[in-house]
Amino acid sequence: MLKELRHPRRGLQQWGRLSASEQRLFLRALFLLPLIKLGLRLFSFSKLAQMLDVERTIVTAAHDARLKAKQVVKVVAIAANHGFVEANCLPRSLTAHWLLRGLGVASEVRFGGANRESQFEAHAWIECAGEAFDVTGNDLEQFAPFDAPVAGRPQ
């Protein structure tokens, strides 16, 4: 699904298909992605995650949380594919996590790994309401999650 978003001519068509709330999220993600990518260069991951993990009131029910997570993941993927900088899974996941927290949705950034063609590959994604969401279009079943979340506190 996310691979089709990479075609540059579809950018305006995709914008028109977004709801007003998704357009606002898109604009936030568009500017947040480069800031988080810069933050990862300036600070350690744990320091940046701590700065992004400000206390927010988490009020969303699980079903609504999953719907909002799907919406945020879609919008972050579009922003990453049509934005100012290329962003891999970590800045995308941190951006989605921060946007979800701003919407009152508890989420966690998770890391995992997979052996592909005799090489280890690390990956980051978010978990929300017990479900994993990937902002890059990867199949998460091929990644074994590490034990603890790396950002976000269960609420």
Confirm whether 6 is domain-assigned.
Answer: no
Residues contacting 30, CB < 8 A, separation 6+: 79, 82, 83, 84
Confirm whether 75 is domain-assigned.
Answer: yes
Residue that has been written with the tokens 């947040």 in this structure: 32
Confirm whether 138 is domain-assigned.
Answer: yes
Model confidence over 92-140: pLDDT tens digits?
999 999 999 888 888 999 999 888 788 888 999 999 988 999 988 888 8
- Quick check: 106 and 76 in contact, CB under 8 A? no
Domain limits for position 56: 21-145
Q: CA 79, CA 73: separation in Å to the nearest integer?
A: 10
Confirm whether 1 is domain-assigned.
Answer: no
Confirm whether 155 is domain-assigned.
Answer: no
Confirm whether 8 is domain-assigned.
Answer: no
Confirm whether 4 is domain-assigned.
Answer: no
Number of folded domains that form the chain: 1
Model confidence over 60-70: pLDDT tens digits?
677 788 999 99
What does pTM read for this prediction? Answer: 0.78
Q: CA 71, CA 36: separation in Å to the nearest integer?
A: 20
